[in-house]
Amino acid sequence: MTASEQIRSHRIGFIGAGNLAQSILRAFLDSGFVDREQIVISNRNERKLERVSRDFQIRAAKTNEEVIDFSDIVIIGVKPQDFYQCIEPIAHAFNSDQIIISLAAGISLQSVQKLIPNSQKILRVMPTTAAKIKESVIAYAATAAVKPHLQWINELLSTMGIVVPVEDGEMMRSILVGASSGIGFVYELMIYWQEWLEEHDIDAKTARNVTIQTFRAAAAMAGHESETPLSELQRKVVSLKGVTAAGLDSMRELEIERALRISFEKAAMRDQELGSTFVPV
């Protein structure tokens, strides 16, 4: 069977109809790999469930058990702080053939496995909010039993962006900080960019557009010349004793790199801290 036939042969259930679940649904359905009839979804708040099931024209389940009964793949999209409370009472309902995908930040593969002892095929998948525009980085770690399924699962996840297989733990945390929190960090820089332009006689709308285009251009050029190291691309836009050189010298004197490194480490430490509080197993 081809990867797309494999995808089509699996029923996909979502527990939790929140922001990320909806972004994933949008990516899956728009890709054409997944049909509406393959999907079922549940949610704690019934009104949201009704809205999501109407918007996406997919089947709504009255209970989380109903999702588990229907599905070959169960995607758990509840917040990390709700994870234990949601899954512990229904853990017995999963069977060992089902593929379980946990989206919860900070909850390790091992914790999910302990919480659902019947399960063997578990993935921890970490997309970013950019899944909704199919520009996400999607890191995943999987148990050994998932290995025979990885080709078509990769294909399914790639409907949201670029897929990066990782080991759970340090590698997953690095991608979480660099890519998921990373979007927040880049926005922090973009805010300063826009503000500086506005303070220097550029109207707010133009300042925003210039900021967006500058970040987009840097990323697009780096993507275009994907074999060229970033430091070399940077050298190409700097002339000796020129304007860009003056700004870069100042950034280095002010130790922007050090400030960013410390911030990344703090974010990684927070992920580690939170992880140990969510699932008491």
Ligand X SMILES: NC(=O)c1ccc[n+]([C@@H]2O[C@H](COP(=O)([O-])OP(=O)(O)OC[C@H]3O[C@@H](n4cnc5c(N)ncnc54)[C@H](OP(=O)(O)O)[C@@H]3O)[C@@H](O)[C@H]2O)c1
Summarize as ranges the residues that interact with ligand X (CB under 6 A): 15-21, 42-45, 48, 64, 77-80, 82, 86, 103-105, 126-129, 180
- For ligand X, the closer CB: 20 or 100: 20
Q: Diameter of the chain by CA atoms?
A: 68
Do residues 3 and 149 touch, judged by C-beta distance below 8 A?
no
CB of 37 to ligand X, least distance (A): 22
Q: How far is CA 71 from the centre of its chain?
A: 22
CB of 64 to ligand X, least distance (A): 5
- For ligand X, the closer CB: 27 or 104: 104
* Residue showing the smallest CB distance to ligand X in the complex: 18
- For ligand X, the closer CB: 49 or 197: 49
> Can you tell me the distance from the alpha carbon of 116 to that of 118, in angstroms, rounded to the nearest whole number?
6
> Can you tell me the distance from the alpha carbon of 112 to that of 127, in angstroms, rounded to the nearest whole number?
18
> Can you tell me the distance from the alpha carbon of 173 to that of 180, in angstroms, rounded to the nearest whole number?
10
* Amino acid in position 203: D
Place of tokens 């690095």: 174
- For ligand X, the closer CB: 10 or 79: 79
CB of 126 to ligand X, least distance (A): 5
CB of 72 to ligand X, least distance (A): 19
CB of 102 to ligand X, least distance (A): 8
Pair type for strands 39-42 and 59-60? parallel
- For ligand X, the closer CB: 72 or 88: 88
